[in-house]
A and B are shown apart, each in its own frame.
With several copies, the nearest count.
Chain A
């Protein structure tokens, strides 16, 4: 199934893109998606510390994904 990935701030710049789609297994969870993304963007491993949101809510690594979910990788926020 397809999910949408969003990248922001330093991650966006590092990746050179802000959004893309990726094909994942039907039973994929957040942690599985991250491992898959690391193949393509090994710098995600170095970064070490970012949060994940699924459909605009913070989500843990066990969160199951569904078709067309929007997954955002969220580096440490610094608004204000």
Chain B
């Protein structure tokens, strides 16, 4: 299954990828672009990836999820480039015999993905743009000139 795409994510492809007659539960997580963040009116997000490494890190997370929970399959796709409001930037599907494992593994996968996978989002809002993540460091970091005081996270 592909890990990165610059095209709209096709949810049905993920569901098919994890379909399994031994599975009684599928949990799907979709991260979508919100129209607001920290009081800013968001116009779009733009994602940049270190493609080779991102693919490897995503594979590693999938492997870790499979080692920690009794799941049947996991599929992970992240979109790069511009992601308009309401569209999916990331989708994760997990199938398992029982729902507890599917829920927990899906939650783990998106949490870990946000921590380790080298992908960055730039938020374009009314009046400026900001790279999300730079601002949460204690040491400050830098931002584009036009922007409001930033906090992490434009996404679910």
Contact = CB atoms under 8 A, between A and B. Distances in A.
Partners in one complex: yes
A75 interface: yes
B136 interface: yes
Nearest to B48: A9
B141 A48 contact: yes
A78 B119 contact: yes
Contact of A9 (B89, B120, B152): B120
Interface in A24-56: 43, 46-49, 53, 56
Given A10-B142, A56-B52, A56-B53, A79 B120 contact: yes
B141 A47 contact: yes
A37 B103 CA distance: 43
Contacts of B119: 77-80
Interface residues of B, number: 39
Contacts of B56: 56-57
B42 to A, nearest CB: 14
Given A6-B50, A8-B48, A8-B50, A76 B140 contact: no
Contact of A10 (B52, B131, B136): B131
A47 B50 contact: no
A5 interface: no
A78 to B, nearest CB: 4
B140 to A, nearest CB: 7
Q: Is the interface of A mostly helix, strand, loop or mixed?
A: mixed
Interface stretch (B6-14, B62-70, B108-116): B108-116
A65 interface: no
Interface string B111-146: 001111111111000000001111011111111000
Given A6-B50, A8-B48, A76 B141 contact: yes
B31 interface: yes
A79 B77 CA distance: 11
A78 B50 contact: no
Interface of A: 6, 8-10, 12-14, 43, 46-49, 53, 56-58, 72, 74-80
